[in-house]
A and B are shown apart, each in its own frame.
Chain A
Amino acid sequence: MPHPSEAALIAFADDELDARARGEVAAHMDGCGLCRHALRDLREAMGALAVETALVDTCEPASWRQGPAALPRTASRSLSLVGATASRPAVVRARPVTAMRWAAAISLLVGGGAAAMTAPRWTRLLRGDVAAPAVAATAMPASTSDAALRLSASAAVSVLPIDGVATVSLLSGAVERDARVIVHVSDRRDVQVTVTTPTSADRVPRFLTGDGRLEVQLAGTGSVVEVDFPSSLREARVTHDGRSVVTVRGSAISPIDAATTGVALAPRP
């Protein structure tokens, strides 16, 4: 396949290609450093733009959020995406329900180490409460409804509903090649974004955020991404490396595209 156009690359990044075209671009990218570099450049631009819009949003009047579209400040849904190395079998963090904010929180924890601000300056500009960097292999609360969605030999997604708060965790061992997680939400109203970057990462995690979409490129190993959504959120969707893996609609969380991605429900190990 010839090099994809930049338009095709951006459509690939935005999950706007049909399955066949996506497969072709993905196959090409696997063996083409030039195109991977081009895509990285585009994502870098996206990152700068995303920060700009997020910063502009901090200047908006509080009254905008207190209008008729205000959301309840009670229960929330939580969605966690965790990247782990093969030597780290299960990196899962439990968040107390009472500590959940209705706004979103994202943290990137690489190697389980302490977080520090070593990112490009735009990643330092989104501020907020940082989720506690607790990483423990056995932290997942026991639940008979636990289920894991096995993506591949090195990646899995788990779904864990707890007292009306749903936690979704993605366990991935393929983070060295810019594993890419995108969370699509129906509405980003009042969703706050927090990113913590690790000191030990060779490469800096990147993220994009904007109304309706949040993208995280996991860099290094053991990356953790965490997002809380307001309970009134109507819909969310998660893709990993271009594959849709989970949808959240109301209180229902389910895997999607099982037929094409090979994602299947499996008992949690």
Chain B
Amino acid sequence: MGSHPAWEAIYAEHRLALLRYVHRLTRDVHLAEDVVQDAFLRLWRESHPVDNPRSWLFRVCTNLVRDQSRRTAIRERHAAQPDEAQAESPDEEFERAESVRTVRLALDRLIPRDREALLLRESGFRYAEIAEVIDVRVEIVPTLIARALKRFHKAYLEETSDATS
């Protein structure tokens, strides 16, 4: 793969999407950068042709994140912070932080595969690609996503209720 003339194009095309995907999974900027760099290095060193670099890269990133046993701690440590460039009133900032926290807690209650499927879907992946990335049959992807959404929604409502009670 390293000598492939499209290497730079692949890097340019997928780098940001991969960073965002891993960032969404981990809420850790530095981990996202490390994982994505690792994935590209693996692609560079890959001796076999890669038919679909996007799916390949996302699959590698997914597996690398799965391997991070400390992910939960990382997520707690690196809760999403407001963009410094966007001035907010204290009320807006508080509401935004609370909303992020509520949804994050709900998302964290999903099993990793469900969370990955939802975030891949959010990344614009079609079901066939989601199946390829998380290594499941494409037929079960809608079932998996529907179940994950239901679980997420239930958890979200519970977290919202907890936050307001």
Residues of A within 8 A of B (CB): 5-11, 14, 16, 41-42, 44-46, 48-53, 55-62, 64-65, 67-69, 121-122, 124-125, 127, 184-185, 187-189, 210-213
Contact = CB atoms under 8 A, between A and B. Distances in A.
A194 B146 CA distance: 27
Given A16-B127, A61-B29, A68 B8 contact: yes
Interface of B: 8, 11-13, 15-17, 19-21, 23-24, 27, 29, 80-83, 85-86, 95-96, 99-100, 103-104, 106-107, 118-119, 121-127, 142-143, 145-147, 149-150, 152-153, 156
Contacts of A52: 100, 103-104, 107
A211 B17 contact: yes
Given A10-B149, A49-B107, A52-B100, 6 more contacts: A6-B146, A55-B96, A59-B80, A59-B82, A121-B95, A122-B103
Contacts of A57: 20, 23-24
Contacts, number: 132
27 contacts: A6-B146, A10-B145, A44-B153, A45-B150, A45-B153, A45-B156, A48-B103, A49-B149, A51-B99, A52-B107, A53-B24, A55-B99, A55-B103, A56-B100, A58-B82, A59-B27, A59-B29, A59-B83, A60-B20, A64-B16, A121-B99, A184-B124, A189-B16, A210-B123, A210-B124, A211-B17, A211-B20
Contact of B15 (A60, A68, A124): A68
Given A50-B122, A51-B99, A65 B145 contact: no
Nearest to A234: B13
Contacts of B146: 5-7, 9-10, 42
